[in-house]
Amino acid sequence: MKAIMVFLIAVVMVSAVEAKEKKFKWQGAQVLIPIAGEVPVIKDKLLVRSSISYIRIPSDGTEQFYSYMGPKWIVGKWTEKDSFWLSPQMGVAGNRTEDGSDALILSLWGRVSCLDGRFALFIETEGYLNSSEQIYYGYYCADYNSPGAVNVGFHAEQIDRNVSIGPHIGITRDPWRSELLYFACFQEDNYGHAVRITTGFSF
């Protein structure tokens, strides 16, 4: 576990040095605050989930709000910590598009965990839709969860054709969860790097 943490910290440091040498644009620190809740409908099979989140990027004045609601279907559950679930959701994104207008969200989330919850894969895919603009968003991550409260992993975030990648490390103390994520994008129109602090609650 310590070796994984040292490796991830080293990746972040090396990436930061390379970013400076290649004149990566520093895109600023980001703060994401999610709050989510679930209510069971059919035990170990169906739940209803709802969430709200707020993201702020002080360097460019970005402030966006997201709200989601939809069913969470547990496709399979093998142990208390090992399962596969899907959650189609609808919602609203505030101040999401380039002109500052709101957008409808059509979203699908999925997660599979195995080996007593030690390893997990998560995928979030969604479209932000309004009369003037349509945006695709995807978030994909793989995690190793320690027997304690720490998780480490690697993620990719996609906005239309731009893809950012990087490592992350987090800690969970139910219902609180926090993560530090590093993002690097090597595409010409979004060449740069950033960090994001995520901290929120799930009930």
Region 14-39: what's the mean pLDDT?
A: 80
Instruction: Count CA within 13 A, CB hemisphere, residue 191.
Output: 9
Percent of the chain scoring above 90 in pLDDT: 77
Query: What is the spatial distance between Cα 166 and Cα 189, in angstroms, rounded to a whole number?
Result: 18
pLDDT beyond 80 at 21:
no
**pTM of the predicted model, to two decimals?**
0.89
Q: What is the pLDDT of residues 122-174, one digit of tens each?
A: 999 999 999 888 999 999 999 999 988 999 999 999 999 999 999 999 999 99
**Backbone φ, ψ for residue 147 (5° rounding):** -60, -20
Q: Check if the beta carbon of residue 164 is closer than 8 Å to that of residue 138.
A: no
Structural domains of the chain, count: 1
181 CB-near residues (< 8 Å, 6+ apart): 155, 166, 167, 168, 195, 196, 197, 198
Q: Residue 76: pLDDT band by 50, 70, 90 thresholds?
A: very high
Print the domain residue range for 98.
2-202
Q: What is the CATH number of the domain that holds 32?
A: 2.40.160
